Structure 1
Amino acid sequence: MSTGETGGSAVSETAQAPYATDGTDFKGALRYYYRSALARFAKLGLPSAVLFVQMFLWPMDVRGYLLPVAIVGMFGFLFAFFLLYGRLFLTWRCARALRTYPLEFRSPVEKVKLERPLRLHLRYGDKAGQPVTLLAKDPLGRSRWPDGIANGVWFAGDDPFGGAAIVPGSGELLFMQPTEWALSAKERDSAGEVRIGQAKRAGIKRAVRYR
């Protein structure tokens, strides 16, 4: 993987994440995101499951009184499971891109728009220097601009298809695809068999419903 002198030196001074964010290794970021998704599920999902299950541990004549609590527990568990699925799904999407493409440092990054809930619109130059506008999302659902993102990101992907990025220092993981998917169709169709094959392996040949 490319490490890039500019990106690497900046990261060494501002590193905040508990894993490497200098483009040398992405596995630490993936492990952190998977663990964080499971930990967040445990905080809400497990207590909710207990509220639901405990009703069945009492005699029948008592269960009626516990039914409202059990219903709250059931919906709490379903909500937590829904969030867990979305977080694991996007992290897995990032993993496919990171394992298919090398990390390249892209700088600077322009903050186009913060769209709630949970979506970032950003722009940087592609390899030819042309501006590329991408819709990005943090798998953990953090709805804010990552610290230091304006200085650049480590990007693994192909601009017309999208990919994944790691923010140096703060370490946010972002799944990204072109904001206007249809407008990039010509570039994707003319990308050639090798690039199209890579995009297919990375799971970004088609638009992903993460929005």
Structure 2
Amino acid sequence: MVHGSQASAPPEAPDVAQILRANRLALARLMAVRLLVAGLLVAVPVVIGRLTGTNSFFLVLPIPFGVGVFILTVYRALYGIRVSQCARVLRDYPLEFHPRVLKKRERWTEYGNVFEVRVTTRGQHGAPLMRAVNAAGRRRWPEGVEERGAWLAGDLLFGGVLVEPGSNAMLFLKPADWDKTARKREEAGAERLARAQRAKLTHRTKYAVMKRS
């Protein structure tokens, strides 16, 4: 009996400050690498052209690609990065462990990969299908979530944050079908609604990264 209770015990809750620090650092690295690539694609041909005095078409060809990488980086940072939004959620909701997280499907968008997931709770049925994006802009699904479970902060009717134990990978969640769950949100109660409002979870996510195809 002792071994069984230990096996079913959730892992130690992660530190929220460490989670946010790790994701902000991951985001800074991602942006730095992309901006460095953009800068090199623009600067290197210009420097070589000035040093050699040549104006070859092939020499200036990388410049439009560098400008394109820069524009996409800014575009994605504005619309696909969710670290600040996750920080608001983690400020208003505690982390609760969920042993079953199922990834249903995945699709690519210019903002980042969108995952459809179902977070189930033992003893409860009808968990809503959620859409999830990596808060720090990464595209990969955090390995091990489906086997080990994950920590959830938020309210599945409104949205929330999913944290993979061990790696500090953080996903921002919203209901996959916002309209389908509208009535349940209206019946959620004043206290529950006010909490979701403080965490900025009461509005449909307008950007295409979290919309239906």
Whether TM-score is above 0.5 comes out as yes
After superposition, where does 1:86-97 map in structure 2 within 5 Å? 86=79, 89-97=81-89
Match of 1:205 in 2: 202
Q: Provide the rounded CA distance (Å) in 2 between the counterparts of 1:116 and 1:201.
A: 30
CA distance in 1, matches of 2:160, 2:180: 17
Q: Which amino acid aligns with 1:114?
A: R
| 2-structure distance, mates of 1:68, 1:80 | 19
The one-letter code sitting in structure 1 at the alignment partner of 2:132 is A
Name 1:137's counterpart in structure 2.
133
State the SS of the aligned residue for 1:82: helix
- Quick one: structure 1 residues 156 and 58, their matched pair in 2 at CA, closer, same or farther if it must change by over 3 Å? same
- Mind listing any 5+ residue stretches in structure 2 that lack a counterpart? 1-7
1:77 equivalent in structure 2 = 70
1:1-36 deviations in Å (ceiling 9; x for gaps):
xxxx8222xxxxxxxxxxxxx424122122112211
SS at match of 1:131: coil
Q: Distance in 2 between matches of 1:23 and 1:31?
A: 16
Among 6, 9, 12, which residue is 2:9 paired with? Answer: 6
Q: Which runs of 5+ in 1 are unaligned?
A: 9-21
Q: Report what 1:36 is aligned to.
A: 26
| Equivalent position of 2:91 in the other structure | 99
- Aligned in 2, Cα 1:69/1:24: closer, same or farther, shift over 3 Å? closer
2:131 maps to a residue whose letter is L
Q: State the shift of 1:161 in Å.
A: 0.4
Q: 1 CA distance for matches of 2:42 and 2:189?
A: 54
Per-residue CA distance 1:124-164 (angstroms, 9 max, x = gap)? 33587123122222123333353133432111101210100
How far is the alpha carbon of 1:196 from its aligned partner?
1.1
The corresponding residue for 1:16 is: none
Change (3 A) 1:38 1:145: closer
Partners of 1:148 and 1:169 within 8 A in 2: no
- 8 Å Cα contact 1:114-1:144 kept in structure 2: no
Structure 1 residues 100 and 68, CA gap change in structure 2 (3 angstroms): same
What SS is found at the alignment partner of 1:36?
Answer: helix
TM-score, reference length from structure 1:
0.76
- Alignment match of 2:153 (pick from 124, 144, 156): 156
Structure 2 residue 144 is matched with structure 1 residue 147: yes
Instruction: Specify the SS of the correspondent of 1:115.
Output: strand
Paired amino acid for 1:134: M
Do the aligned partners of residues 191 and 25 (structure 1) sit closer, same or farther apart at CA in structure 2, a change above 3 Å counting? same
Identity of aligned residues (%): 26
| CA RMSD of superposed structures (Å) | 2.8
Contact residue 107 and residue 114 of structure 2 kept, 8 A? yes
Amino acid at match of 1:115: E
